[in-house]
Structure 1
């Protein structure tokens, strides 16, 4: 239950953070306007709350591991939303990051 809840929260966090950043990007760089920017800012704010629901109590561990989720999620977002085609090195880097997430968050530790 711990692992599945944690993974689900990381996915939700990635959707809010990456989606929020993408909305700001669209609003500014693609000239879509303040509504897109405002929606992005709200999504980024929501991301900040999602991390607090992680079952692990250590802020540093949660955010360090989230960095790997962010890397892989950003590549996936780019593929879906912008037609980005990652090369094998992008994929390898994302897999290494996700392995880091697994080590940081889910390796059993003595209590």
Structure 2
């Protein structure tokens, strides 16, 4: 039985770990090699929620002071969340856990299209 790394503390990240492990077990794809990718996805999930907390605390934009200059700038956590989500999607695709990578869906669509001709 695989468990999340000890560094994983957030409830959301632990839940994601459990969900992905269950999906990989259903497909008989859970092994030491795939668990490394699951660990990375889970770590990214934890980081994502830390950035969400930062946005909740400081907002989407923040007041930036540079000497006598004052301006608003985008909270860098917003951009980091977008990058984390994209990286998670790539790792999920590598594990064939995205809708686009589901071969059964693609096969059903292909068969139905050709039957119409």
Q: Give the TM-score normalised by structure 1.
A: 0.38
Q: Name which one, 1 or 2, has greater alpha-carbon Rg.
A: 2
Q: Which has the higher contact order (CA 8 A, sep 6+)?
A: 1
Structure 1 or 2: larger strand share? 2
Structure 1 or 2: larger helix share? 1
